[in-house]
């Protein structure tokens, strides 16, 4: 399933200016154009997790630049269980099972499953549809009359 820019903005809850800035900062979406090719649900899920870290935990978006590819590739909306988190320490970020958290005196985390559930609800997507490809039919606006 592919999503347009307007769906990204409403689903991830970011502004147009924020998305433009993120496209300059995050390599996986740098060349994305919401009009022609759109965004995948996986990309929306990654952006929703990043948005949660940026807005709720005050993590600067620049911290995600080197980790972005790993995050966008690692998030699988159909396989993420309640046990998966984005773990953020002073020196690293990683997607991990909550039982494998790094031994650190201070860290922040974003639970993945609730963020994906909120994204699905915002976009009115059934849980099993996260990775389906959108069907594009080559039909024009021409009306064909029905004859009996």
pTM: 0.80
Question: What is the rounded distance in angstroms from the CA atom of residue 114 to the CA atom of residue 68?
Answer: 20
Half-sphere exposure of 133 (CA within 13 A, CB side): 4
Q: Which of 81, 106, 95, 99 shows the shortest CA–CA distance to 50?
A: 95
Please state, for a pLDDT cut of 90, what percent of the chain lies above it. Answer: 51
Is the CA virtual torsion 3, 31, 54, 98 positive or negative? Answer: positive
- pLDDT of 27 reads 94
What pLDDT digit, counting tens, does each position of 92-141 carry? 899 988 888 888 888 999 999 999 999 999 988 765 554 444 444 444 45
């Amino acid at each position: 399933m592919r999503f347009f820019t307007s769906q990204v903005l409403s689903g991830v809850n970011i502004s147009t200016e924020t998305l433009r800035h993120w496209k300059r900062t995050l390599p996986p979406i740098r060349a994305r154009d919401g009009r022609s090719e759109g965004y995948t649900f996986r990309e929306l899920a990654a952006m929703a997790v990043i948005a949660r870290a940026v807005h709720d935990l005050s993590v600067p978006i620049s911290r995600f630049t080197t980790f972005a590819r790993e995050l966008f590739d690692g998030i699988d909306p159909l396989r993420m269980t309640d046990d998966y988190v984005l773990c953020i320490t002073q020196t690293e970020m990683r997607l991990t099972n909550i039982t494998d958290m790094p031994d650190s005196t201070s860290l922040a985390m974003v639970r993945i499953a609730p963020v994906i559930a909120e994204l699905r609800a915002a976009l009115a997507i059934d849980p099993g549809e996260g990775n389906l490809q959108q069907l594009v039919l080559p039909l024009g606006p021409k009306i064909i009359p029905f004859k009996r």
